[in-house]
């Protein structure tokens, strides 16, 4: 049982970003996806969640080919994508956002979200756009607690947050993993991602440059890859 991509090729218009990517997220595992900016990490998550159609290769969920499915179909298949950028509806209240994030037939969605992030339970009538950045990220991440997915794709969920809030977000990620969801985690704080991960992949220029366990990763080689990307940019 896994979320897997094989030979995945995808991009935007005439620009190819992913160049034959193979990656496996085993059920119940945490996989860190690392690499410099522009290496293809966000593009890979978008292809896995149906936001971007690959031009070649396959996306399978628990052995079933899900390549090319629309995002809502992949949600039904057990895939939850929490994109970069605090994807909330800023003009709606917290309660209204939670109602939209919850799948049909989940009447206790407010209670589930408030259990995961108590601050949301205290601000149900507040307009989401007036929440702090950390609170907005908690609201965006609450979809993972409401949908109870088998696979969660997380794109830079700590970006721009204060250290205390980052600790809260990672505590929530640990709870999701303990509940049995598999995580594919793109994260700027490499040490936090590696501390949580069972497996790690490193991307460079649209390809997988390393795969293995965190203890196998050469920290100096990883730093060099990031620095080299900076000089190319």
- pLDDT band, residue 220 (cuts 50/70/90): low
Parallel, antiparallel or unpaired: strands 56-61 and 64-65 = antiparallel
Q: How far apart are CA 4 and CA 60, in angstroms?
A: 5
DSSP three-state, residue 162: coil
- Residue that has been written with the tokens 């037939």 in this structure: 105
Give mean pLDDT, residues 87-93.
91
* Structure confidence by residue, pLDDT tens digits, 186-195: 998 888 999 9
* Structure confidence by residue, pLDDT tens digits, 36-88: 888 999 999 999 999 999 999 999 999 999 998 999 999 999 999 998 877 78
**Among candidate residues 55, 88, 51, the one with its CA nearest the CA of residue 73:** 51
Contact 117, 142 (CB under 8 A): yes
- pLDDT band, residue 19 (cuts 50/70/90): very high
**Does residue 223 have a pLDDT over 50?**
yes
- pLDDT band, residue 232 (cuts 50/70/90): very low
**Does residue 170 have a pLDDT over 70?**
yes
Report CA torsion sign: 12, 185, 217, 191.
positive
- CA-based end-to-end distance of the chain: 38
Q: 3.30.465.10, 3.40.50.300, 1.10.10.10, 3.40.50.2300: which CATH number matches 2-78+152-232?
A: 3.40.50.300
Per domain, the residue ranges of the chain are 2-78+152-232, 94-148
**Does residue 28 have a pLDDT over 90?**
yes
């Amino acid at each position: 049982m896994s979320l897997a991509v094989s030979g995945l090729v995808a991009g935007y218009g005439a620009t190819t970003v992913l160049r034959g990517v193979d990656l496996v997220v085993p059920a119940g595992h945490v996989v860190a996806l690392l690499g410099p900016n522009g290496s293809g990490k966000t593009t890979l998550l978008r292809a896995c969640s149906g936001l971007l159609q690959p031009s070649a290769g396959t996306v399978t969920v628990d052995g079933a080919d899900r390549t090319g499915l629309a995002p809502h179909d992949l949600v039904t298949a057990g895939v939850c994508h929490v994109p970069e950028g605090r994807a909330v509806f800023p003009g709606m209240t917290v309660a209204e956002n939670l109602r939209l994030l919850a799948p049909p037939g989940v009447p206790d969605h407010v209670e589930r979200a408030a259990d995961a992030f108590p601050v949301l339970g205290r601000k149900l009538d507040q307009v989401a756009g007036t929440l702090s950045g950390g609170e907005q990220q908690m609201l965006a991440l609450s979809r993972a607690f409401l949908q109870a997915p088998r696979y969660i794709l997380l794109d830079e969920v700590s970006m721009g947050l204060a250290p205390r809030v980052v600790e809260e977000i990672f505590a929530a990620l640990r709870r999701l993993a303990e509940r049995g969801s598999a995580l594919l985690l793109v994260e700027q704080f490499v040490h936090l991602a590696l501390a949580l991960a069972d497996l790690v992949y490193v991307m460079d220029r649209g390809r997988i440059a390393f795969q293995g366990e965190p203890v196998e990763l050469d920290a100096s080689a990883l730093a060099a890859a990031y620095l080299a990307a900076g000089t190319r940019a």
